[in-house]
Amino acid sequence: MDSRRGLLVIALLFMSFIVYQQWQLDYHTPKPVATEQTVTSTSDVPASSGNNTVIATDTQVKGKVITLENDVFRLKINTLGGDVISSELLKYDAELDSNMPFVLLQNTPEHVYIAQSGLIGKDGIDTKAGRADYQVEGENFKLADGQNELIVPLVYQKEGVTYRKIFVLKRGEYDIAVNYEISNQSDKTIEVEPYGQLRHTLVDSSGSVAMPTYTGGAYSSSETNYKKYSFSDMENANLSVNTKAGWVAVLQHYFVSAWIPNQDADNQLYTLTDKANNIGSIGYRGPVVAIQPNTTEKLTSKLWTGPKLQNEMAQVADHLDLTVDYGWAWFIAKPLFWLLTFIQQLVHNWGVAIICVTLVVKAILYPLTKAQYTSMAKMRMLQPKLQEMRERFGEDRQRMSQEMMKLYKDEKVNPLGGCLPLLLQMPIFIALYWTFMEAVELRHAPFFGWIQDLSAQDPYYILPILMGASMFLLQKMSPTPVADPMQQKIMNFMPLIFMVFFLWFPAGLVLYWLVSNLITIIQQQLIYRGLEKKGLHTRHKK
């Protein structure tokens, strides 16, 4: 297969990938707000285990909003229920160079995305009648210099029982311990069930054909390491999974919030849909906990709200790092991302790291590339004999096929030898594509000059134009002309078609393809010169 026909194969695979991406595009990522909002408590809570998937709603009562802050985020917590109603990520700008923190959790009239937790069950303090209104000493709590841990207790008392909801923030960490300490000083045994849920406005699709994004639920259980559960899935059927360990999450581009319950307890993972308010919830419900008179019980859980940092999330909970979803190409994307990160730590520039990774990939594929062009050269040498066969056997396709295969065998030529390196480029391209789509480390990462965000499209389209030009040059340097006029016309337009598609691709991905083309041009010339010395190749001249 000559390189031009190979490019047709690549084009077909590329177009198929784009169509598949558009088919997958069912979700919408709302634009983050970077201003503080006045919030009220949205207090839908799950029913206890005696009832299935019922939303219990109390009256909307305003609680006091307190602020908790460490060095990576600033949280707003409503004392009514103790819900996290805002999380500002201090290390990430809302927009490039905006100097305004990215807001992940938020509770505004336009968009609800909050992390609720509480105690339900027989003696629960979060019921249809209302939720616990906690007391707290102070309104603003900040991790001090030299301090590695910030502990903030919220206190609620009812009928001789003291409930302490304790938030623990650590320096440099995006996971928050949300623990309960329940002291039963009454004369009866009480029973409660812990729960945690993420409530999110039901949203539609977002992104473009080139850069789709997923906003929706996901979960992990003892049976399933990672599975998406979209808002459409929630509307169609409520999730109900019994598991030990596991977690529930809401994903969006580069960021995630997740509840991680006690990993030694039997939990139920669930979803609820409040269509009247256009809100979906994904959460967990823990087992019934009985607290005897004059005893104290401790319940634990964690909340992650922050960027998709793979190493850190893997330490918080098993399989939480899978929320960085590389799709089916994960087995290529993971080592590529590791290599990219390793090189970036040496060169301190993500664009330079991409160029270095491209060099490594092309070096690994070089033996196949050499085999490709050697096969193409041999195929070209056989063209006179193949033409003679066509004239001899005419319409006898079966005989023609038999004679061709015999010729290939006698001459030790693999007619598909030129196609394999081209086909291998697509999985690598797709893996890099998902790396740029999912790796928050590349968000707002500069290269040089006008490229200040490798995860976004080139603002002046210079890289896509250069990529199209390099593709055109590579096509013109192909040693074998396309005989079919229609195929020739298609090939002439192929660089332009690819360039148009790449206008909206992340600049880092376009940089990879451009550098790959340039390296291929150099490799091709070196290989052909070696073949000419051996007499295996005669350069095609028009």
Cα(514)–Cα(516) distance, rounded to whole angstroms? 5
With beta carbons less than 8 A apart as the criterion, state whether 399 and 406 touch.
no
260: left (phi over 0), alpha (psi -120 to 50) or beta: beta
Nearest by Cα to 509 from 453, 440, 449 = 453
pLDDT, position 422:
66
Taking the C-alpha atoms of residue 468 and residue 472, their distance in angstroms, rounded to an integer, is 6
With a cut of 90, say whether residue 156 has pLDDT above it: yes
**Token pair belonging to 448:** 């040089």
Mean pLDDT of the chain: 84
| Identity of residue 307 | P
**Residue 452 exposed, middle or buried by CB count within 10 Å (0-12, 13-18, 19+):** middle
Mean pLDDT throughout 40-64?
A: 51
Distance of CA 358 to the CA centre of its chain: 22
pLDDT at 327: 84
Mean pLDDT of 102-108: 96
CA–CA dist 220, 459 (Å, integer): 38
The mean pLDDT of 51-79, rounded to a whole number, is: 75
Q: pLDDT digit string (tens) for 200-244?
A: 999 865 665 666 788 999 999 999 999 999 999 999 999 999 998
pLDDT at 536: 56
153: tokens are 């207790």
- Which residue matches tokens 């193409």? 376
* pLDDT score of 537 more than 60: no
Q: Give the per-residue pLDDT at 504.
A: 87
For the domain spanning 63-325, the CATH number is: 2.70.98.90
The yes-or-no verdict on residue 66 having pLDDT over 50 is yes
Residue 433 has pLDDT above 90, yes or no: no
Please tell me the predicted confidence (pLDDT) of residue 21. Answer: 53
The pLDDT score that the predictor gives to residue 60 is 66
pLDDT digits (tens, 9 = 90+) for 357-403: 999 999 988 888 887 777 777 777 777 887 888 788 777 888 888 88
Longest Cα separation, the chain? 103
Mean per-residue pLDDT, 352-361: 95
Question: Which regions of 95-189 does DSSP assign to beta strands (E)?
Answer: 101-103, 106-107, 112-120, 140-142, 149-158, 161-170, 175-184
With contact defined as beta carbons under 8 Å apart, do 7 and 422 qualify?
A: yes
Question: In this model, does residue 18 exceed pLDDT 60?
Answer: no
Q: Does the pLDDT value for residue 31 go beyond 80?
A: no
Tokens of 73: 């985020």
Percent of the residues in the chain that have a pLDDT greater than 90, as a whole number: 57
| Residue with token string 């970077």 | 34
**Three-state SS at 118:** strand
Low-confidence winner among 100-114, 269-283, 398-412, 500-514 (lowest mean pLDDT): 398-412
Helix-strand-coil split of the chain, %, nearest 5 = 35, 25, 35
Which CA distances in Å does 72 have to 84, 105, 518? 16, 14, 41
Six-digit token string for 58: 């109390």
Cα–Cα dist 103/87, whole Å:
6
Structure confidence at residue 279 (pLDDT): 96
- Residue 261 in this model has a pLDDT that exceeds 60: yes
* pLDDT at residue 13, rounded to an integer: 59
Res 41: pLDDT: 38
Q: Which long-range contacts (CB under 8 A, 24 or more apart) does 539-542 make?
A: 539/479, 540/380, 540/478, 540/479, 540/480, 540/481, 542/481
pLDDT greater than 50 at residue 125: yes
CA distance 289 to 190: 8
Residue 119 has pLDDT above 90, yes or no: yes
CB 196 within 8 A of CB 116: yes
> Long-range CB contacts (< 8 A, 24+ apart) of 102-105?
102/32, 102/34, 102/255, 103/32, 103/33, 103/34, 104/32, 104/255, 104/257, 104/305, 104/306, 105/75, 105/257, 105/305
pLDDT by residue (tens digit) across 294-320? 999 999 999 999 999 999 999 999 999
Q: How many residues can be counted in the chain?
A: 542
| Rounded distance between C-alpha atoms, residue 542 and residue 538, angstroms | 12
pLDDT digits (tens, 9 = 90+) for 473-510: 888 876 554 455 666 677 778 888 889 888 988 899 89
pLDDT, mean of residues 118-141 = 93
Cβ pair 342, 360 in contact under 8 A: no
Beta bridge partners of 283: 197, 270
Contact 272, 46 (CB under 8 A): yes
- When pLDDT is cut at 50, 70 and 90, the band that residue 541 belongs to is very low
Return the pLDDT at 15: 56
Segments of 286-338 assigned E as strands: 289-291, 295-299, 301-307
Phi, psi of 85, deg, nearest 5: -105, -5
Q: Residue 436 in contact with residue 354, Cβ under 8 Å?
A: no
Domain boundaries, the chain: 1-31, 63-325, 338-534
Q: Across residues 350-355, what is the average pLDDT? A: 96
Tell whether the model's pLDDT for residue 39 goes beyond 80: no
